[in-house]
Every structure is written in C-alpha cells, then in structure tokens.
C-alpha cells in the first residue's frame, strides 16, 4: 500500500539508504534497469503481477540483487533485516 511504502521509505532514508519506489510491476522493472540497486523489497500485491511472481522475474533479470518479500513485517523490522543482509554482503 502507499502508506506502507511511505513508512518503509522513511525508515530506510533514516538509515541513510537511497530509496526508489514503484507502484506497479512495470515501474519496478523500469527502476531496476535505470538504477543501481543492492536490494528490492516486494509487497504481496502489486499491480501487474503478484509479489512472488515479481520476485522470481527480478531474480531472473538481476540475480545479484537481494529480493525480500515484505509480508506482514513492520517497516522498522524490514529495515533492520535489510541492513543485516547488506552488512553481511559488505563483509563478504
């Protein structure tokens, strides 16, 4: 939802991360091709295809990018989870 995206964006920006938002699958794919991303957070329902299908599609397009399904986690928990994943990738 738009409010969840806004809350999550605030959390991520507060941690110093750069954020790009997409409200449709085509916008998400366009953002992916136009930018440089370490991770993509995906909601269950996004216009164009369901979340798991989009996750699979993005993994096929860019397997090096971490994909995380949002599910029912809070923005704060998702932010902590993402930071832990990115910190682990940076340490590798």
Q: What is the pLDDT of residues 4-43, one digit of tens each?
A: 888 899 999 999 988 998 888 889 889 888 888 889 898 8
- Indicate the DSSP class of residue 45: E
Residue environment code for 27-47, b if the CB has 16+ CB neighbours within 10 A, otherwise e: ebbeebeeeeeeebbbbeebe
Tell me the pTM: 0.80
For the chain, what percent of residues have pLDDT higher than 70?
Answer: 96
């Amino acid at each position: 939802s738009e409010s969840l995206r806004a809350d999550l964006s605030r959390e991520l920006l507060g941690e110093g991360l750069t954020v790009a938002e997409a409200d449709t699958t085509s916008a998400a794919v366009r953002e992916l091709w136009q930018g440089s991303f370490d991770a993509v957070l995906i909601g269950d329902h996004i216009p164009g295809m369901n979340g798991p299908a989009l996750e699979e599609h993005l993994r096929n397009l860019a397997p090096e990018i971490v994909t995380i399904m949002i599910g029912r986690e809070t923005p704060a928990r998702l932010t902590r989870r993402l930071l832990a994943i990115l910190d682990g990738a940076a340490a590798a």
